[in-house]
Structure 1
Amino acid sequence: MAVKTVCEMLEDKFEEDILAFLNNFQRENDCKIDHWSFNPDDSGNYNLQIQINKQDSKYLN
């Protein structure tokens, strides 16, 4: 059995809520999400990073 990383466990645990949030974000902001991920910071906290496309421009939030 493969051991999951903390990021994978967070994604699994909150996947339904995250996907609902991201879908709503796309609708409200008229954009397309290219990629999303959880990433740890230096303090041991995890941040949700989202890369979006809007009107032929790329943004990373």
Structure 2
Amino acid sequence: MEKREVKVSFGKSGNGMGAKLTLPIPFLRKLGITQEEREIELILDEEKQVIEIRKKK
């Protein structure tokens, strides 16, 4: 398992706020996420307090 620390950026988005984070390209390559195939599933596990990112099948 590889670990990196990143910061979440917050900014105004329309009438509310939005958040973004930058994922390292090596991580995306290992998952097979490219500019052409960039759809992912984002899963929130509130019990474990974990956000999971998976390539959409």
TM-score tier, shorter chain, comes to 0.3 to 0.5
Q: Could you tell me the TM-score, scaled by structure 2's length?
A: 0.40
Q: Larger % of helix: which? A: 1
Q: Could you tell me the TM-score, scaled by structure 1's length?
A: 0.38
Relative contact order: is structure 1 or structure 2 higher (C-alpha 8 Å, sep ≥ 6)?
Answer: 1
